[in-house]
Amino acid sequence: MGIAKDKKLSAANIKLRRRAEDRLRVKKAKLHSPRTEEAARRLVHELEVHQIELEMQNAELKRAREEIELSRNKYTELYDFAPVGYFTFDTRGLILEVNLAGAQLLGTGRRLLANKPFISFVASADEKKIFSNHLESVLQRQGMKKCGIRIKGKDGKVIHGQLQSVALNTIEGKDDYILSSIVDGTVGKQLEEALRKAHDKLEFAVKERTRELTGANVQLTQEIAERKKMGEALKISETNYRSLFEAAQDGILILDAETGQITDVNPFLLKMLGYSHEDLLGKKLWEIGTFRDIEASKATSSELKSKGYVRYHDLPLETKDGRPIAAEFVSNVYLVNHHKVIQCNIRDTTERKLNAEALQKSHNELEQQSVKLQAALSEISTLKEQFEAENIYLVQERKSKNRYDHIIGQSDGLKYVLYRAEQVAPQKTTVLILGETGTGKELIAFAIHDMSPHKGRPLITVNCAALPGNLIESELFGREKGAFTGADTRQIGRFEIANGSTLCLDEIGELPLELQAKLLRVIQHNEFERLGSSHTIKVDVRIIATTNRDLEEEVRKGRFRQDLYYRLNVFPITVPPLRLRKDDIPLMVQVFMERYSRKLGKQITTIQKETMKSLQDYPWPGNVRELESIIERAVILCPGPVLQLADKLEILSPTLSLAMRTLEDTEKSQILKILTETKWRIEGKDGAAAILGIHPSTLRARLHKLGMVRPETK
């Protein structure tokens, strides 16, 4: 801009020179040559005096111009290189003037921004409307106005700008214009080099102008007049830039970089801090109440001198009346007329800080509520899962009740089993139900639960022999999502479902050895952890275990933990095999026959005595389950009202014979155990026959058949 102006001045000077030469020729034509030597000397003397007068006037005008230029340079450079973007708009929002920071903000050269509508740089349609309303309110002379909009530069970069605008008049007072400041987070750090180059260019222009002024006297006179006009323009420019400084809506503090003394301060900062010019001018920052921390202020000054730029967010300050405020402090070092000055821009951020603190507090409260809500939702989810699982077991339990309306039989052995179940049912004692496969151990477990205080809730059953070893732990104790490959969801275990109820561990002898220790801990302490979780879950569960294995033998072979066996064998109940309950077979046959006849729509009402005798004489290695299967198959194949067996009841295969021998060994071991506990007392309330649920004479017959004799006692 300065070079273009110099070119215009040079063209004007050439024109003036030509006009001066024309006037000189006219003047020479009118002048008469001096007729005497004395007259010539007087004319030369007058010309020399006039020459000196012109040179003195020229020197005076030059000094005045330099002073004006120095003053103008000061405010021009403060305006151009301020860290805040300053814009001058006309009433339509066209850009009349913009400093370097403003041009950099828009990513466009200053020349290209002249007469450009600022609204074209606003990011969105809604924000353009905000900007238009902002200009209207400013032109209504309602004082300083603020607004926040997003600005999109030429390079596509979007920034969040905070506008502060005020309406002013030109120095002639004719046309209105708007002065706006736009704050961005980015402040240039290469201002000193730009200042040096600008200074060199201006110095070069002044030297060129000086050489031109030393030409002819006529040209010098014309140039003096032109300089007067330039001086007036400089005064106008200085006034305009001073008005920018005075009207800025950021606090601005000017310091001497060498002494650290305050040389100028704008009205906005005085109003912000409550001080007057006299309170601040000539003093150092740490000498006023606002910046009382001397060491921090000196450290800031040292950092500023070394880096040329410092910035602090939410700097704690204090007004003259002692009111604390927070401020954003941006400071730069500039070179103005070969002298370093410091410009400090101070913006009150107290409201922003309080809003941020309130927002953080609200955020923390929301997080706490979220944690509580998450815990509540987790508890609700767990209860929902438990309820759904219990509902499934209730449905299964109803089916079980429909299938087994009651336990069938009237034998002494069965009555004794039910008597033992009735004794232990009201307690929380752990029960171990022993018996061969198919004897109905699970029915006895259900009977104990149905007579217990927990009968209102379902009996939860886990078949330890039916699940793979790698899934039993998950079924018993549950798992978290991601606990192992394939665990896509969280699952609660049977212990959690059975909380407050009864858990039946069917075929406990099949439980893998590595899980027995964890089961022992649950029985001992009523607590466990889900797979993939470190959170301990407390439960109140009654344990009923069933098995067809000889657990004492399993302990001796190392396949079952001895401590777990003792924990389970608190109250053992042995369900006798069907071959020891021959008196119950006719009743069972009648019930099974009626049940499957009704199911299959047949009218089978009688059974021959020979058929019933063969059923009673058969040893039933599969016990009640085998008997029920035989009757169901006979009903399916029976053509008339008399039940006939479909197969002949024989044990011919070596496998079945071996199974019978194994069953006899199990029976012999069980009888020997009971006799040892009763010290071989057979009859009486606490005798072995009563415990086994058979008649004393029947027990003696079994002892004779099995070859069992009471050992001699010393």
Instruction: Assign 171 a pLDDT band (cuts: 50, 70, 90).
Output: very low
pLDDT of residue 399: 44
In a 3-state reduction of DSSP, which class is residue 315? strand
456/567 same-domain check:
yes
Average pLDDT of the residues in 132-156: 85
**The last residue of a domain, from among 225, 242, 259:** 242
In a domain, 364, yes or no: no
What are the tens digits of pLDDT across the range 428-437? 999 999 999 9
Q: What is the largest CA-CA distance in the chain?
A: 185
What are the structure tokens assigned to 75, written together?
């405010």
3-state secondary structure of 682: coil
State how far the Cα of 124 lies from the Cα of 121, in Å rounded to an integer.
Answer: 9
* CA–CA gap between residue 712 and residue 693 (Å, rounded): 26
Q: Please state, in angstroms and as integers, the Cα–Cα distance from residue 248 to each residue in 140, 227, 244, 274, following that order.
A: 18, 31, 6, 17
- Of 58-62, 292-296, 407-411, 622-626, where does the model show the most confidence? 622-626
Q: Are residues 62 and 149 in the same domain?
A: no
pLDDT digits (tens, 9 = 90+) for 302-339: 777 677 777 777 677 778 888 888 877 788 887 777 77
Closest C-alpha among 303, 301, 310, 314 to residue 347: 314
Nearest alpha carbon to residue 520 among 501, 498, 505: 505
- What's phi and psi for 399, nearest 5 deg? -60, -40
- Residue 263: pLDDT above 50? yes
Domain-terminating residue out of 526, 558, 574: 574
pLDDT at res. 191: 42
| CATH, residue 638 | 1.10.8.60
CA atoms within 13 A on the CB side of 659: 13
Q: Residue 420 is part of a domain; what is its CATH number?
A: 3.40.50.300
d(CA 428, CA 260): 87
Distance CA 602, CA 544 (A): 39
User: 540 and 400, same structural domain?
Assistant: yes
Lowest mean pLDDT among 70-84, 460-474, 588-602: 70-84
pLDDT of residue 209 exceeding 60, the answer is no
Identify the top-confidence range among 18-22, 114-118, 191-195, 356-360: 114-118
**So what's the pLDDT on residue 345?**
84
pLDDT at residue 632 in the model: 92
Going by C-alpha positions, the residue among 230, 207, 224 that lies closest to residue 53 is 224
Both 592 and 503 in one domain: the answer is: no
Average confidence (pLDDT) over 39-46:
75
Residue 370 placed within a domain: no
Q: How far apart are CA 660 and CA 656, in angstroms?
A: 6
| Residue 175 domain flag | yes
Kindly compute the dihedral angle of the four CA atoms of residues 670, 676, 679, 685, in this order, to the nearest 10 degrees: -30
What per-residue confidence (pLDDT) applies to 56?
A: 80
- 196-205, 458-467, 493-502, 641-650: the lowest-pLDDT one: 196-205
> H or E segment at 332?
strand 324-336
Q: Looking at residues 404-420, what average pLDDT do you find?
A: 81
DSSP 436: -
Are 228 and 317 in contact by the 8 Å Cβ rule? The answer is: no
Give the whole-angstrom CA distance, residue 477 versus residue 503: 12
Q: Quick one: average pLDDT of 521-531?
A: 89
Q: Which residue has the higher pLDDT, 32 or 475?
A: 475
Which amino acid, 186? T
Is 182 part of any domain? yes
**Looking at the domain assignment, is residue 359 inside a domain?**
no
Q: In the structure, what pLDDT confidence band is assigned to residue 3 with cuts at 50, 70 and 90?
A: very low
- Relative to beta strand 502-506, strand 542-547 is parallel
Question: Burial level of 462, CB count in 10 A (0-12/13-18/19+)?
Answer: buried
CATH number at residue 255: 3.30.450.20
pLDDT class for 181, splitting at 50, 70, 90? Answer: confident
pLDDT, position 9: 47
Q: Which of 664, 575, 668, 590 is nearest to 627 (CA)?
A: 590
Predicted local distance difference test score (pLDDT) of residue 673: 81
Lowest mean pLDDT of 12-26, 309-323, 435-449, name the range. 12-26
Give the distance, in angstroms, between the CA of residue 312 and the centroid of all CA atoms in the same chain. Answer: 29
CB atoms within 10 A of CB 221: 16
Residue 357 in domain: no
The residue-averaged pLDDT of 342-361 equals: 81
Average confidence (pLDDT) over 92-107: 87
What does the alpha-carbon distance between residue 113 and residue 486 come to, in Å, rounded to a whole number? 64
Average pLDDT over residues 153-162: 83
Note the pLDDT tens digit of each residue in 377-404.
Answer: 666 666 555 555 555 544 454 444 443 3
Mean pLDDT in residue range 448-456? 91
447 and 305 housed in the same domain: no
Is the pLDDT assigned to residue 79 strictly greater than 70? yes
Instruction: Band the pLDDT of 28: cuts 50, 70, 90.
Output: low
Q: Do residues 677 and 559 lie in contact, with contact meaning Cβ atoms separated by under 8 Å?
A: no
- Name 502's bridge partners: 459, 542
Task: Let me know whether 59 and 206 are in one domain.
Answer: yes
**Amino acid identity, position 230:** M
DSSP-assigned letter for residue 478 = -
- pLDDT: which is higher, 203 or 534: 534
Is pLDDT above 60 for 634?
A: yes
- Split at pLDDT 50, 70, 90, the class of 39 is confident
Q: Are residues 412 and 554 in the same domain?
A: yes
- Return the amino acid letter for 487: A
pLDDT of residue 215: 54
Q: How confident is the model at residue 663 (pLDDT cuts 50, 70, 90)?
A: low
Confidence of residue 186 (pLDDT cuts 50, 70, 90): very low
Tell me which of 683 and 219 has the higher pLDDT.
683
- Residues 29-61, buried b or exposed e (16+ Cβ, 10 A)? eeeeeeeeeeeeeeeeeeeeeeeeeeeeebeeb
- Same domain for 553 and 415, yes or no, is yes
Q: Same domain, yes or no, for 157 and 14?
A: no
Which structural domain range is residue 557 located in?
A: 378-574
Mean pLDDT computed over every residue of the chain: 79
Last residue within a domain, chosen from 574, 599, 628: 574
Torsion angle of the four alpha carbons 483, 487, 493, 496, in this order, in degrees rounded to the nearest 10: 70
d(CA 690, CA 588) in angstroms, rounded, equals 23
Specify if 558 maps to a domain.
Answer: yes
Are 583 and 556 contained in the same domain? no
- Note the pLDDT of residue 187: 40
**Lowest model confidence (mean pLDDT) among 242-246, 291-295, 630-634, 686-690:** 291-295
Q: What is the pLDDT of residue 592?
A: 92
pLDDT at 400: 45
Helix ranges (H only) for 248-293 are 267-273, 277-280
Task: Kindly state whether residue 358 falls inside one of the protein's structural domains.
Answer: no
Into how many domains does the chain fold?
5
Please give the pLDDT value at position 383: 58
Q: How far apart are CA 606 and CA 600, in angstroms?
A: 16
Q: Are residues 471 and 615 in the same domain?
A: no
DSSP assignment of 537-603: EE---EEEEEESS-HHHHHHTTSS-HHHHHHHTTEEEEPPPGGG-GGGHHHHHHHHHHHHHHHHT--
292 pLDDT higher than 60:
no
Q: Is residue 230 domain-shared with residue 168, that is, in the same domain?
A: no
Nearest partner of 105 among 147, 61, 159, 145, judged by Cα: 159
Q: Is the pLDDT of residue 577 over 90?
A: yes
Q: What is the pLDDT of residue 554?
A: 92
8 A C-beta contact, residue 217 and residue 17? no
